[in-house]
Amino acid sequence: MITIEENKSLQQLHTFHLSVSARWFAEYQSIEELIDLLKTDLLRENPFLQIGGGSNLLFTSDYEGVILHSKIKFIEVVSETSEYVTVKAGSGVVWDDFVKYSVSNGWGGAENLSLIPG
């Protein structure tokens, strides 16, 4: 389900935790919902910025547009051999959750990137 909020605080949505807000904040749970959102007047008529975990962003003032946030959360195995696993993850998956998921499945490699924010 798409959710749209007005005057949303971004304080907990970026890692510098500055007290800034977004004029609008929209979340989507699928690619289809994102496509629908992009067709709305809200997105056609306003600047927008996609964010993830907000660890590479520093907001110096309120954002006078639409912040987009993915809640696409799936993790799926695309292919697997005796040596390699190829995994696909949604853009809303928190990186460290992906690392934990990999470790819990016994897949080596991603654990080296544990605790990277975002």
Given a contact cutoff of 8 angstroms between Cβ atoms, the answer to whether 47 and 64 are in contact is yes
Interacting stretch for ligand FAD, rule CB under 6 A, among 2-10, 40-48, 55-63, 102-110? 55-63
| Owner of token pair 């690392």 | 99
Given a contact cutoff of 8 angstroms between Cβ atoms, the answer to whether 21 and 63 are in contact is yes
Interacting stretch for ligand FAD, rule CB under 6 A, among 25-33, 53-61, 78-86, 98-106? 53-61
Distance, in Å, from the CA atom of 54 to the CA atom of 34, rounded to the nearest integer, reads 19
Show the tokens assigned to 100.
């934990």
Interacting stretch for ligand FAD, rule CB under 6 A, among 26-34, 46-54, 58-66, 100-108? 46-54
Q: How far is the CB of 80 from ligand FAD (least distance, A)?
A: 25
Judged by the rule CB under 6 A, the positions of this chain that interact with ligand FAD are 49-57, 70, 91, 116-118
